[in-house]
Amino acid sequence: MPDKTLTKLEADIRQVQVALASLGPMRPGTLSQQFRQPKTREGEYSQLSYTYQGKSRTEYVRPAEVAAVRQEVAEYQRFKTLTARWVDLALERSRRQRDLARARRVAP
């Protein structure tokens, strides 16, 4: 008889995998508003900052592109949340499988 906890963990992992497959375009980073004259808050512009492969980068974002970049950053955050959830579930599944194997060896 299959273990209910293990079955539930595997179903949860499948749900995360489906959610990951549905992700759209993404990019890491933080989108912020900057000012050419910070004291007077004049000359506002958008800037994307991120670190990728150990290199820090900053990019100017045109006003017409801000909404799309904001969506891509949100998608990347969703990606990170989903992958962290997958790892948590995989660790829990591994522990459960190990516990069940030990219980089978001990049982007469």
Percent of the chain with pLDDT over 70: 97
Per the listing, tokens 């194997």 go with: 101
The confidence band for 105, taking pLDDT boundaries of 50, 70 and 90, is: confident
Q: For the residues 39-49, what does the mean pLDDT come to?
A: 96
Q: Which residue in 1, 64, 55, 11 sits closest to 29, CA to CA?
A: 55
Q: Please give the pLDDT value at position 10.
A: 96
Q: How confident is the model at residue 20 (pLDDT cuts 50, 70, 90)?
A: very high
pLDDT (tens digit, 9 = 90+) per residue, 48-93?
A: 999 999 999 999 999 999 999 999 999 999 999 999 999 999 999 9
| Cβ 26 vs Cβ 68: under 8 Å | no
Q: What is the mean pLDDT of the chain?
A: 95
How many angstroms separate the CA atoms of 71 and 83, rounded?
18
Sheet holding 42-52, edge to edge: 30-37, 42-52, 55-61
